[in-house]
Structure 1
Amino acid sequence: MKLAMNWNEWSTYDAVGLAELVRGGQITPKEVAQQVNRAIEAVNPEINAVIEVFDDAVNEPEKDGTNLDGVFAGVPFLMKDLGPTVKGRLQEMGSLLMQGNRPSSDSYLTSRIRQAGLNIVGRTTTPEFGLCSSADNPDVYVTRNPWNLDYTTCGSSAGSAAAVAAGVIPIAHATDGGGSIRIPAGVNGNIGLKPSRGVLSVAPYSSDLMGVVSAQGCQSRTIRDTAAFIDNCRGGAPGEFMPYWMPSESYSNLIQRDPKKLRIAVSHEWGNYKSTPHIVAELERAAKFLEGLGHHVEWKLPNIDFHAAYMAQTECYIMNFAQTIIGLLEQKGLEKPPADLIEPMCIRVWEEGRSASYTHRAKMQSAFNDTSRKVGAFFEDWDIILTPTMALPTPLVGTKEYLTISDNPSVYDWFENLWSIFSYTPIANLCGLPGISLPMGQLENGLPLGIHALTRQGEDGLLLQLGAQIERALNGKWNNGRTPGVHVTRDVGSLSH
């Protein structure tokens, strides 16, 4: 089968650009889907990012209700195997326990994704229940970083990040409960926006009140793709507990203009957590770049109790994930997690959190409230907090200390170790803030390093506006114009047949 375009050409298009080709009659949604399918066949054996391709959706893009008149005009989309359900498709959550699980209905966000014109053609890898930092369990699958296969993609939006980075697809679904959109974006050289609480719905199975730290979103390679995704998928379903932010102007329009001169606070020492010297140097370089764009940049830190904030985040994770596991066990008529089907740290989280009282949760919520108020006060004087996306370099595949296959006997020690590397992203989840990782930095070994920006709640558009200003200043060349070692353009011969 001859493909509609060569791979060098393919790699120049984002999702909005492909949709423009479709609307112009230069390519059909089926041809775009076949191109993605061929890309998966070529690179997935190396990176193991895509669990399953939906052949019927590839061959009939309109089959499952994709709105081909939507802004994305049938452009293919990969769904993380966690979060929103897709009617009739497997959702196994990275867990042996959930193999064969097939939801009977679309989630609300899934319906919004379809209405936006995205054709859901497959599902991507995630660690078990999205709890840990990488999709890295040999008994399930091991997802590898396309920049260097010896390294992890981080997570939990592991497969989506790797597929976007490798040029397989321009945009894919991701979720974020403590950095799971932004961290893999930073590690894989993508753009990753975690929206504010109250932007993308988690209905009908949860809400912003119940899943207080979790957010939905996407991985992309251009700011305009992320802006279009948020513009067209945002909004609350009937019965939401909280109001949903609706901007006065679409983000797709907003990003055409540079932001005002911003007051940008730069920091990396958050309580006991701080970055390596090289990462600090990359943060300084990014800060000077923003200063060169006309913004006021200063080293400054919000006055919050980081230890209390991260302890509350730990308690939230333990309680929330314990309840998730309890619910899944009840579905299967099980009283406790089977050791051969659920990973060790997930079992320990269940053990620790299953009997937590409302008093525990009230104390956690009090710490969330105190932290949110202080961060909110900080944003009265500052527009952006700039940090690295991670404090430490990307781990090698198989680094068990960050994984739910860890043999660490202490849940609390395991989480404390996670915060030491993923130090800067969870605060956005705790406070309901938007945060974005932009592919501006580079580690000493050549892997990407994301630079992370936070702003006040509901101001997601400001992050996208700043990202678009940076993108224009770089002439669109994120990652210094580099592409990963595993990429659709690297092996054109094997892809063209």
Structure 2
Amino acid sequence: MNLAMSWNEWANLDAIGLADLVRKGQITPQEVAQQAAFAIDALNPAISAVIEVFDDAVHDPMKDGTNPDGAFAGIPFLMKDLGPTVKGRLQEMGSLLMQGNRSSADSFLTSRIRQAGLNIIGRTTTPEFGLCSSAENPAVYVTRNPWNLDYTTCGSSAGTAASVAAGIIPLSHATDGGGSIRIPAGVNGNIGLKPSRGVFSVAPYSSDLMGVVSVQGCHSRTIRDTAAFVDSCRGGAPGEFMPYWLPPEPYSELIRRDPKKLRIAVSHEWGDYQATPHIVAELEGAARFLEALGHHVEWVIPDIDFHAAYRAQTECYIMNFTQTISGLLEQKGLEQPPANLIEPMCIRVWEEGRFYSYRQRAKMQAVFNDTSRRLASFFEDWDIILTPTMALPTPLVGTKEYLTISENPSVYDWFENLWRIFSYTPIANLCGLPGISLPMAELENGLPLGIHALTRQGEDGLLLQLGAQIERALNGKWNHGRRPAVHVTSIDAVQFPAKCVKDSV
């Protein structure tokens, strides 16, 4: 079967660009879905990013309620195998325990995704229950970085990150409980926005503080795709325990204008957490770039007890994941996590969390409150905090110290090891702030390095507006115009011949 377009054309189109072609009648949603499915067939054996393709959704994009009049006009979309459920589809959460688990209904956000015109054609990899930094358990799958297959994608939105970076699909679902949108975006050269608390609903689940530490979102290759995704999918379901809000104007309109002159605080020394010299040099380069755009840039460190904050974040994770695992065990009539079906660190987290008291939870929430107040005060004087997305270089595949197959006997030491590399992203989850990773820099070995920006709660549009200004200044050439080694443009044109699509780029 001929494809709708060449792979170069495909790679040069974002989701909005593909949707425009559909609206013009130059391609059909089925043709676009088939092209994405071909890309998965060709590249997934190398990167192991997609668990399953829904063949029926590829052949009939509107069968599950995809809205052809939505912003994305029926183009294909991949769902991370964690978080929102998809009616009738498997959701196995990266766990052997959950194999065969099939969802009975769409989550609220899934219905919003369909209404936005996105055709859910498959699911992407994630570490077990989204707990660790990389989708790497050889008994399940090992997702690899398309820039260099020896390296991890990080996580937990691992398969989404690899799929978008490799050009398989321009837009894909992601979640973020401590950096799981932004970290893999930074490692794979994508755009990753972690929205504010009160943007995307997780209904019907997790209507409490510990649940909303984790938020929903997407990976993309252009700011306008992310803006359109937020515009189209945001909003609360009936019965939310907190307000959900709308901005004065859609982000898709806001990003057409440059932001005002911003006060940007740059830092990488967060308590004992510090970036390597090369990463600091890349951060300095990004700061100079923003200064050249007319912004005021200064090196300033927020007055926060970062170790206390991240200790509270650790305790929140332990309590949250203990509840998650306990609930799943109860559903299956089990009293203990089976060692052959649940990964060792997940079991240790469950064991530790069983003994937490309400008093400990109250103390954790008090630290959350103090940290949030301090950071909000900081944003009275500053518009943006700029950091690297990570403090240390991307790990090689098989670096067990960051994985839930780690043999570390201490849950607390294991989490502290995570904070040493992922030093800058969790604070946004703790405080409910928006953060974005932008593909502006690179590591010494040529892998992408994200530059991370934080702002005050509810100002997601400011991050997108700044991102759009940077994107225009770069002429759209994120990652210095480079592409990964494993990419759709490397697919053999003889194997997959394409018909021409006029005016597609």
TM-score normalised per structure 1: 0.99
* One-letter identity of the residue aligned with 1:389: T
Cα deviation for residue 492 of structure 1 reads 3.1
- Quote the Cα distance in structure 2 between the aligned partners of 1:495 and 1:19: 26
In the alignment, what sits opposite 1:128? 128
SS of 1:150's equivalent in the other structure is coil
In the alignment, what sits opposite 1:267? 267
In the alignment, what sits opposite 2:500? none
Q: Is the 8 A contact 2:84 2:106 kept in 1?
A: yes
SS of 2:121's equivalent in the other structure is strand
Q: Is the 8 A contact 2:408 2:414 kept in 1?
A: yes
In the alignment, what sits opposite 2:230? 230
- Quote the Cα distance in structure 2 between the aligned partners of 1:21 and 1:75: 10
In the alignment, what sits opposite 1:178? 178
Q: Is the 8 A contact 1:326 1:354 kept in 2?
A: no
Alignment partner of 1:457 is 2:422: no
Q: Unpaired segments of 5 or more residues in structure 2?
A: 498-505
In the alignment, what sits opposite 1:441? 441
In the alignment, what sits opposite 1:76? 76
In the alignment, what sits opposite 1:117? 117
Runs of 4+ in 1 over 6 A off after TM superposition: none
Q: Deviations over 1:121-144 (max 9, x none)?
A: 000000000000000110000000
- Quote the Cα distance in structure 2 between the aligned partners of 1:305 and 1:417: 18
SS of 1:144's equivalent in the other structure is coil
* One-letter identity of the residue aligned with 2:94: G
Cα deviation for residue 354 of structure 1 reads 1.6
- Quote the Cα distance in structure 1 between the aligned partners of 2:418 and 2:183: 12
Cα deviation for residue 210 of structure 1 reads 4.2
- Quote the Cα distance in structure 2 between the aligned partners of 1:467 and 1:385: 14
In the alignment, what sits opposite 1:394? 394
- Quote the Cα distance in structure 1 between the aligned partners of 2:447 and 2:328: 37
Alignment partner of 1:66 is 2:66: yes
Q: Unpaired segments of 5 or more residues in structure 1?
A: none
Cα deviation for residue 209 of structure 1 reads 3.0
C-alpha RMSD over aligned residues: 0.7
* One-letter identity of the residue aligned with 1:324: T
Q: Is the 8 A contact 1:343 1:405 kept in 2?
A: yes
Q: How does 1:80-91 map to 2 (within 5 A)?
A: 80-91=80-91
In the alignment, what sits opposite 2:94? 94
Structure 1 stretch displaced more, 201-210 or 68-77: 201-210
Q: Deviations over 1:323-374 (max 9, x none)?
A: 0000000010000100000000000000000231111110000000000000
Alignment partner of 1:289 is 2:289: yes
- Quote the Cα distance in structure 1 between the aligned partners of 2:103 and 2:50: 19
Alignment partner of 1:354 is 2:354: yes
- Quote the Cα distance in structure 1 between the aligned partners of 2:479 and 2:19: 24
Q: Is the 8 A contact 1:201 1:207 kept in 2?
A: no
Cα deviation for residue 208 of structure 1 reads 5.1
In the alignment, what sits opposite 2:2? 2
* One-letter identity of the residue aligned with 2:399: T
Aligned-residue identity in percent: 84
- Quote the Cα distance in structure 2 between the aligned partners of 1:355 and 1:270: 30
Q: How does 1:332-347 map to 2 (within 5 A)?
A: 332-347=332-347
- Quote the Cα distance in structure 2 between the aligned partners of 1:47 and 1:311: 34
Q: Deviations over 1:472-491 (max 9, x none)?
A: 00000000000000000013
- Quote the Cα distance in structure 1 between the aligned partners of 2:260 and 2:369: 30
SS of 2:150's equivalent in the other structure is strand
In the alignment, what sits opposite 2:501? none
- Quote the Cα distance in structure 2 between the aligned partners of 1:354 and 1:61: 44
- Quote the Cα distance in structure 2 between the aligned partners of 1:493 and 1:34: 16
- Quote the Cα distance in structure 2 between the aligned partners of 1:446 and 1:371: 35
In the alignment, what sits opposite 1:43? 43
* One-letter identity of the residue aligned with 1:392: L
Cα deviation for residue 494 of structure 1 reads 5.7
Cα deviation for residue 6 of structure 1 reads 0.5
* One-letter identity of the residue aligned with 2:455: T
Cα deviation for residue 27 of structure 1 reads 0.3
In the alignment, what sits opposite 1:431? 431
Q: Is the 8 A contact 1:39 1:495 kept in 2?
A: no
- Quote the Cα distance in structure 1 between the aligned partners of 2:144 and 2:3: 27
* One-letter identity of the residue aligned with 2:462: L
Aligned pair count reads 497
* One-letter identity of the residue aligned with 2:184: P
TM-score normalised per structure 2: 0.98
Q: Is the 8 A contact 1:42 1:494 kept in 2?
A: no
SS of 1:335's equivalent in the other structure is coil
Q: Sort the Cα spacing of 1:20 and 1:353 in 2 relative to 1 into closer, same or farther, 3 A.
A: same
Q: Sort the Cα spacing of 1:349 and 1:62 in 2 relative to 1 into closer, same or farther, 3 A.
A: same
* One-letter identity of the residue aligned with 1:339: A
